[in-house]
Each structure stands twice: as C-alpha cells, then as structure tokens.
Structure 1
Amino acid sequence: MCRNTQEDQNLCREVLSQVDGSSSSDPKAYIDAAVNDIRDSVTTALKMITTEEEFSKDDNGIKMAIDGCKEVMESALSSLDLFSNALRSNHDINSVQTQSPDLKNWLSAVISYQQSCVDIFEDQNEGERKIKEQLQSQSLDRVEKVSIITLDIVTGLAKIIEDLGVHVQMKPISSSGRVLREEVDNEGFPDWFSSSDRKLLAKDVKFYVPNVVVAKDGSGNFRTIQDAINSYPKTKNFQGRYIIYVKTGIYKENCTVPSHAMNVFMYGDGPTKTIVTASMSNVTHNLKTMLTATFVNKAGMFLAKDMRFENAAGAKGHQAVALRNVGDFSAFYNCHIHGYQDTLYVQANRQFYRNCEIAGTVDFIFGTSPAVIQRSKLIVRMPLPTQFNVLVADGTVERNMTTGVPFDSGFLRP
C-alpha cells in the first residue's frame, strides 16, 4: 500500500498498521485508517487553537490568526466527513475507485485548509510564530503528510488492488490528477456542471422567479445583500435553488454566504450595474489576507451571474481580496472580479468561471483549488513601483492533488 507514496514510507506503514488483522485484505480499511489519522490531527489542532484562544485575547494579530485557522480546520473536518461518508456508502472497492475524483478533491481541500492555517500566522510576530511552530510540529505537518499519503493510495488504487491479489473488475478512470483539465464536455463545461444549471444560465433574466429581491431604494425585500443571504430558509429539507436578485446599485458591504446556504443563485443587472464593493486590506486595516474579502462564498453549488465583486483598497493596500471562494461545485458567469493584489482567492474545492473579467496586479488569482477559468478576460493593472505583475500563485504541493488553475479560451489585457 505504501510502495507508491512520495511521502515517508515509514510514516505510511505506521498509519496503516492501525488496521487489524481481520480487515487486512480490505483496501477500504487502510484508506479509512489514514483518513481517521488525518481527522485526529485536525482535531488536535482545533484543541490547541482553543487553548491558545484563551490566552491571546489582547493580541489582535494572534486573535485574527486563531479565528482564521479555526475556520479552515473546521472546514477540513467537513471535507473528511464527506470522504468518510462516501467510503462507507460504497460497499465495494470498485465503487470507491469510481468516486475517486470526489475523494481526491476532498483530500486536496484538506491540504489547502492546512496551508491556509499555516500561512495566516506571521513570522514577524513572535507570538504568532510560536503558535504556528507548535501547530506544525504537533499537528499540521502530519495533516499534510498523511493527506498526501492517502492521495497517493487513492490515486494508485488499481495497482494496489492488483498487488494485493484482490479479484475485482475495476472500471477505467482517468489517470490524470487534474480532473477539471481533462473532463469537460463538448460545450466546455466541467462534467459536474448540471444540465439544470446550464439551462438556468441560458435563460433570459426576465424568466427568473427570485425568492427575494435586494434593492438599495427599498423597492425589494431587503436593502443589503447580506440580509438577503441571511433569509435563506432554516429548514433542512429546502429543495431547489434559492434565488436572490440584486438590483442595480453600488452595495458597499462585506458579504458571506455560509456553508449551510446550499444552492443559492444570485444574479444582478450586469457587472457594470450591480456592484458589491468594499476596501478591507492587509496594510490599511492590518487584517490577515483571508479576512479582507469583500465577498466570501463557503457554500456548495453557489451560482452567481451578472454581478461585480470588487475590493477598492488600491495597490497601496497590498493584499486585498475581492472574492474568496471555497464552495464546491460553485460557478460565476459574466461576473467582474476586480482588485489589485490577491484579487481572487480560489481557496479550495471545484470552481468554474466563465465569461468573467478578473483584474489585479500581484498574485491576483491564488489558492489551492481545481478552478477552471474559461472565455474570460484578465486585466493586468499597474502595481506599486517595488512590485511586478504575477497572474497566478497556485498552492499545489503534491503531484496527485486535483488542484490547479487552467485557462481556456480567454485573453489577457494590460
């Protein structure tokens, strides 16, 4: 099982030794043991963060770092739960192999969240550096290493089955780790993009029936976008799309779509008419980069159309995120995403951007996500005199991660 891993094989054997003899011929048992090991390390990190939280209330930098790390570690647990649920629901190893794109996405997301937790603590601050070093040595380094080991096992499942002498009929599956680079259909959509969502995007806006309307002049249900998001039904059995129409206007607010608000469809009157803007930044407001975003989406199946998301901090603000997205199977169509440094944070999970306009200076598309950017315009803005333009900063650290930011049929403009 450990032969093909690029990580420490001794660590791999240590993790997999937790499988008892009665399950030693079941490849699923080894995968489950590895995922449980990752979960234990993430839980350890959360306990450490909670302890530090009690002693760091007077240091705003440490408090922000702890809050951000706590958020992403909780997201990592959610990804691991999805993985474990899929493993349990697939009764044979052939089914597990078929679902490997999902499994690999969730493991890649865990690595992304681990990176985000490490990166949010700044070395210049002695207190933050000490907490980061403790987290890495006692938890986060193991999270990354065992996640990589598990990715290698899932990726090499067919060979492992053959080596174990388990006789099952394996269905063919793409060997490429970069799932979204390969698996698009003849219309250019990722294979996960549903037919109902394609029809929704193709419809004229006059045929949409919104659940709620946002209007600055009071002609809708709400005056702010966040209030409309907060109106998402609390019932667990809500079905279908929750449609939010945002009328023409400049909405000066920071918005978050929480993880439980699945299947939101938000649309405006066009990216030059419906504008969400704020100006939080790393330098001007002394905020961690992850916490500067004008618009944050944490929910799966989020869909946005005909809107602009911008961070107006300017080049002098340095890191200032316009859009941070971690929603799995999320998509943005005919949207403008404008900022300067760190404009679009594709933090984790499967994302799709079509007919969009993305503007920035340094690392203005960054993160560790399998994000496809298609038929879109990239606008390179003038950086500060001490800076130079960088379009993409991809956080992929392992060959079998499903992450990367492929561009398809777009163009670049200064």
Structure 2
Amino acid sequence: MVAKKVLISGISFILVVGVAIGVVAIVIHNNAKKPGHESLSAQMKLVNQMCDYTDHRAECQQSLSPVAQNSSAGFKDYMKAALLSISAEAQKSFNMTESLLVDAKNGTRVKKSIEECKDLMKEAREELQALVSFVGDAELHTMTDRALELKIWIGSVNSYAGTCRDVMGDDDPKVSEAMKGPIDDITAITDNALAIMGQISNILGWFGVKLNEKAIIEKASNSRRLMGGTLEADIPKDGYPSWMPSADRKLMAKQDNGRIAPNVVVAQDGSGQYKTINEALMAYPKGNQGRFVIYVKKGVYKETVIINKKMPNIYMYGDGPRATIITGDKGEANTGDKISTSGTFQVYANGFIGRSMGFTNTAGPEARPAVALRTSGDMISIFNSRISGYQDTLYMNIGRQFYRNCVISGHVDYIFGDARVVIQNSLIIVRKSSLPHQNQAFITAPGQQTAHEVGATVIHNCRIVPEEALFPTRLEVRTYLGRPWKTYARAAFMECTMADFIRPEGVVAWDGKDFNTEHAFFGEFKNKGPGANLANRVKWAKGGFTGEMDRNTAAKFTVDSMLLPDTWLKQATIPYLPGFERA
C-alpha cells in the first residue's frame, strides 16, 4: 500500500534520471556517424551540460563520465551510476565507522555516537541497494509526474548524512574529522542528484520529452474540493472531509467512540493481548500489506517505542492525548542519548498514523536535547495528540509529515528537522525553563542543509502562546519563531495567531549574529495577534529572507503544494485544509 507507493516513487526517481541520461546516450549513439572519439566527445559534452546544473561539478563528472565512455551505454547504465555513486560513499562512511569502533572505548559517549552513525549509514546504503536491484524490473510507464515526491525521497539520504554529522558532534575531534570527508562527499553527490532532477524538464526537453512538474502542484488546485477555498467548505459538521467515502467516515466515527476493531489491544490492566506497546509491535505480521491497527488503552506507558522500517502502515490510537501517554526521560546530559536515540517514540516506517495519544520526554531542560517524538519516514500523520518536552521535543527527520489538532510544547528548538512538514490547526506552547540562565526560547529550528533540498517546516493556522507558568514573566524571555539550524533552513508561518511575547525581530541567527543566515528563509503570511507585527522584523546583513511573503510564495507552503495529499493523506482519513483558510 503506502510502502509500495514509496518504492515506486524511489524507482521513479531512478527512471527519471536514468531516462534523461539514457535518452542522451541513445540519441547520440544513433546519430553518431562513426564510433569512437566523436561519439564519446558528444556524450561527454552532454554530461558536462547536465553537471552545469550542479553545485559540485567535479563530483558530478566523476560519477557520470565513466558511463559516457561507452558509446553503446543505455539509460540503465546511467541510472545505476547515479545511484551507485551515492551508495559507494555511504559504504565508505559505514566502513569508516567500523574502523573507528575498533579503538572506541566501551560505555563512552563517543562509541555510542559512532554506533548511531553506523546505523544511519547502513539505512542509507540498504535503501539505495534495494532500488538499484529493483530497477532492472521497472517498466517505463511507471515514470509519471512525480518530480516533487522523488526529490523528497532522494533528499532523505542527505538527512541521514546530516544526522550522522550531528550525533558525532565534538565529543572527539579526531573522530569527527575522520568522518567529515565521507559525509561531505555524500552530501555533495546527493545534492547533485537533486539539482539534476530539479532541471529534469529541461534535460528531457532537449530531446522533445517534457516532464511537467508544475502539473503536480496544480492538479489538486483544479479539483472540486478546493473550490470552497476554506476549511468550512471542505470539512462538514461531522468533522470529516467531504471527499471521504461514507464507509471511511463511519470508520472514523466508530474510532472516535472507541468501537473500531483493532488488530491488537494494549492495556496495562491486562484487558488486552499485551501490556506494553513494544510487545504489540512484535505481533506485526511479516509482509503485512494493509493497515495494522493498534489500540492503546489509557495509561502511562514508560517505554522507548521503536517502529522500525519493516512495520509500514501502522495505525495506532489511544483514549486521548491526556489518557494514553507514552513517556520517557532520555537526554544527552543524563543518559548520553542524542537526538537520534533519545526519542520516547521513534517512527522509522512509512505510512504511520498516530491518533489521540500523548508523547512526552520528562528529562527536563537540564538534559539538553531530549526528544519526545522522532518521525523518520514518509507519509506520516499525527492527529489529536500532545507532544511535550523542553529541548528538541519534535524531531521531524525525513519525508512528508502532517500534524493536525495537536498540542506541541517545549522551550528550545522544539520543532526541528529536515522533513517536509505541515503543522495545522494546532496549539504551539512555549514552556517555562527551570534553568535561570535560559532566557531565550526558540520555537523552530529548520535543518535543510543544501540548496536543492525540498524540506521545510510550515506552521499553518495555529495559535502560538506561552504556557500558564511562563505567562507572568513571558516578556522577560526572548522568544523567537525560530532560528536556522542548517545553512538552507526553511520555515513558514501562515495564518497563525501570535501572542505578545514573540520578539519584534521574529527570528534570530543560530549564534545570535549571522551564522546560517545567508540562505535561510523564514516567511510569514497573514498572521495576526500582537506577536505578528512585521514592522521590526530582522533583516540579516548576509541575506536570507524574513518577513511577509506574497501570496504566490505562500501558496508553495500549503498542504496541497507541500505534501501532495491526494496520494496518501486522503487515505489517512484525517481532515486537512488543502489551501489557505482566510487569505
């Protein structure tokens, strides 16, 4: 189901790039008047033209040039070269972690970081290898207008590499330096692939083949359900979208009333098949093709829940965000767990739906990074849930993600990551820190690393407020909408209501000066409330964008443009606003 769609999306990327380059090879081979140097030079010229689109031209040529030397090379030769070059660098990084582990001391934070990085490189390598092995069976008719989805997929490799870099940190300068080269190489060649795919219409256009990427975004805009243009037009009184089949509407109504029949039930009092969530996950059927429904009865479940990649399409619901609570207390300062392992609830599978639950990390501000919910998969949706912590509460790592009717709370960088995310109709709460020196709060920390990534954090039609404990001293804490975690950080706040404690500057540089500001983007559109006053928004000397977006720019951050909801979110049976609510 969802997993199959993701696989097809990944293969489509290979086919798109492969066909683009393959057409080059075929046309030149057929038109060459004589074999040998003339044909080779023509092929190399076109390879150079494609590499002109990239920011890392030498690496691009190195990846594609060997294939171009074969005058009879077909598109499969080129697509394998594009993917295998990324896979080879991931393998180098994996090998480097194994080498570093030999000298790492047991029980140290350094060793734990290396092990985390090793796992990340293994994930990247296995995904790429699976796609390369599958490409031989792929049919050309599967190549459709999926350019945006494909960018999201290939961009996940950059996210894996970036997370590896982050967990290594500065625990051991020698280890960090040893990993820097391999990680930089992965980032460069992955960004090259994104750059070429961003120009795929032009590349195919050279040969009379057009790939209309814009049609993907416009397709939903022309559909019947957008005619109303407002939430009320799309969501009737029963709370479910008008496009939802009557059977699904009844299913969701039953679930709201606790009458849906799950595959397994978790209950601490023994009234279900299992007493812990992790035990229930062990019952996930191998090779499951449909939804696997888990009902978690009310209770406080103190466990680290991990939904691995082999568990796609799980639908997990509880008795309410204050009744069914999954809690943990892992953090960097207290347990040595960084952003990649501290999460109380970690999702690595595609197609996960979480509903009516609470995800918390109680480690407190002194633990520094302490994740409550980490989502590292595509087509993930969370509805009617509470996500609470202090620093790094919600880690949105890769893929498309949607959050609706949620309460998300924290203090420092508590909505962060590299995924393509929309948080809609939710309550964003800034908490009071117990640390006397912590007099700044940052709501978002977008983590886009390179120019051609398509990730972004969108906060749409939400309320941004201080928690009750912070209210009396709210103006003493310098609270910002966000700061750029990575070089190409991208965030948008649209049609939100902002309380008076938001700083007039709106956002701030990572180091308070100008770090990561040159290419950062923090756009606002039609927000209201005292904190939404744009008169004194910061203007960074190095560049970057802050302040009010025009309507056309803002439209790029709607659910329809960001998430391509028709391909998956509709099936999740979660109400959503496809465009603007008021604008």
- TM-score (normalised: structure 1): 0.87
User: In the TM superposition, what are the counterparts of 1:333-372 in structure 2 within 5 Å?
Assistant: 333-372=383-422
What residue number does 1:173 align with? 213
Matched, 1:151 2:194: yes
State how far apart, in whole Å, the 2-side matches of 1:59 and 1:21 are.
50
Return the offset for 1:351: 1.2
Return the offset for 1:413: 1.3
Deviations 1:161-220 (A, max 9, x none): 23xx3232x24222999x99999x74789xxxx968975883332341111111111111
What residue number does 2:51 align with? 2
What residue number does 1:133 align with? 177
Deviations 1:365-413 (A, max 9, x none): 1111111111111011123333311111111122321201112211111
Deviations 1:72-91 (A, max 9, x none): 11222244346546765654
Return the offset for 1:245: 0.6
State how far apart, in whole Å, the 2-side matches of 1:158 and 1:402 are.
17
State how far apart, in whole Å, the 2-side matches of 1:181 and 1:106 are.
23
State how far apart, in whole Å, the 1-side matches of 2:115 and 2:272 are.
34
Percent identity between the aligned chains? 32
Return the offset for 1:279: 1.0
State how far apart, in whole Å, the 1-side matches of 2:204 and 2:74 are.
9
In 2 relative to 1, CA 87–393 (structure 1 residues): closer, same or farther, beyond 3 Å?
farther
Instruction: Provide the aligned C-alpha RMSD in A.
Output: 3.0
Does the 8 A contact of 1:180 with 1:370 survive in 2? no
In 2 relative to 1, CA 199–115 (structure 1 residues): closer, same or farther, beyond 3 Å?
farther
State how far apart, in whole Å, the 2-side matches of 1:385 and 1:97 are.
55
User: In the TM superposition, what are the counterparts of 1:92-103 in structure 2 within 5 Å?
Assistant: 92=140, 96=143, 98-103=145-150
In 2 relative to 1, CA 201–297 (structure 1 residues): closer, same or farther, beyond 3 Å?
farther
Does the 8 A contact of 1:245 with 1:267 survive in 2? yes
Return the offset for 1:18: 2.2
In 2 relative to 1, CA 288–343 (structure 1 residues): closer, same or farther, beyond 3 Å?
same
Return the offset for 1:275: 0.6
One of 357, 369, 373 as aligned partner of 1:307: 357
Matched, 1:204 2:263: no
One of 163, 170, 184 as aligned partner of 1:116: 163
In 2 relative to 1, CA 150–379 (structure 1 residues): closer, same or farther, beyond 3 Å?
same
Return the offset for 1:27: 6.3
User: In the TM superposition, what are the counterparts of 1:184-333 in structure 2 within 5 Å?
Assistant: 186=226, 199=249, 202-205=252-255, 206-233=258-285, 235-236=286-287, 238-333=288-383
State how far apart, in whole Å, the 1-side matches of 2:213 and 2:304 are.
42
Secondary structure, counterpart of 1:401 in structure 2: coil
**Bigger CA drift: 376-385 or 270-279?**
376-385
**Bigger CA drift: 313-322 or 70-79?**
70-79
Return the offset for 1:108: 1.0
Secondary structure, counterpart of 2:94 in structure 1: helix
Does the 8 A contact of 2:387 with 2:409 survive in 1? yes
Does the 8 A contact of 2:87 with 2:125 survive in 1? yes
Return the offset for 1:100: 2.1
In 2 relative to 1, CA 81–370 (structure 1 residues): closer, same or farther, beyond 3 Å?
farther
Return the offset for 1:102: 2.9
Deviations 1:232-290 (A, max 9, x none): 12x32x23111111101111111111110111111000001101111111112232232
In 2 relative to 1, CA 96–249 (structure 1 residues): closer, same or farther, beyond 3 Å?
same
Does the 8 A contact of 2:147 with 2:197 survive in 1? yes
State how far apart, in whole Å, the 2-side matches of 1:148 and 1:201 are.
42
Deviations 1:101-128 (A, max 9, x none): 23211221100110000111131x33xx
In 2 relative to 1, CA 239–200 (structure 1 residues): closer, same or farther, beyond 3 Å?
farther
In 2 relative to 1, CA 97–366 (structure 1 residues): closer, same or farther, beyond 3 Å?
same
Secondary structure, counterpart of 1:398 in structure 2: coil
State how far apart, in whole Å, the 1-side matches of 2:451 and 2:248 are.
32
State how far apart, in whole Å, the 2-side matches of 1:22 and 1:201 are.
57
Does the 8 A contact of 2:191 with 2:451 survive in 1? no
State how far apart, in whole Å, the 1-side matches of 2:425 and 2:152 are.
24
Does the 8 A contact of 2:201 with 2:211 survive in 1? no
Does the 8 A contact of 1:372 with 1:406 survive in 2? yes
State how far apart, in whole Å, the 2-side matches of 1:274 and 1:243 are.
16
One of 62, 65, 77 as aligned partner of 2:113: 65
- TM-score (normalised: structure 2): 0.63
In 2 relative to 1, CA 224–107 (structure 1 residues): closer, same or farther, beyond 3 Å?
same
Does the 8 A contact of 2:338 with 2:370 survive in 1? no
In 2 relative to 1, CA 23–113 (structure 1 residues): closer, same or farther, beyond 3 Å?
farther
What residue number does 1:14 align with? 62
State how far apart, in whole Å, the 2-side matches of 1:180 and 1:64 are.
45
Secondary structure, counterpart of 2:51 in structure 1: coil
Does the 8 A contact of 1:344 with 1:364 survive in 2? yes
State how far apart, in whole Å, the 2-side matches of 1:49 and 1:181 are.
47
State how far apart, in whole Å, the 1-side matches of 2:355 and 2:274 are.
19
Does the 8 A contact of 2:317 with 2:355 survive in 1? yes
Equivalent pairs, count: 398
Gaps of 5+ in 2: 1-49, 236-242, 467-583
In 2 relative to 1, CA 272–254 (structure 1 residues): closer, same or farther, beyond 3 Å?
same
State how far apart, in whole Å, the 1-side matches of 2:311 and 2:459 are.
29
Larger RCO (alpha carbons 8 Å, 6+ apart):
1
In 2 relative to 1, CA 80–161 (structure 1 residues): closer, same or farther, beyond 3 Å?
same
Partner amino acid, structure 1, of 2:410 = G
Secondary structure, counterpart of 1:347 in structure 2: strand
State how far apart, in whole Å, the 2-side matches of 1:202 and 1:96 are.
34
State how far apart, in whole Å, the 2-side matches of 1:11 and 1:143 are.
10
State how far apart, in whole Å, the 1-side matches of 2:175 and 2:414 are.
28
Does the 8 A contact of 1:97 with 1:157 survive in 2? no
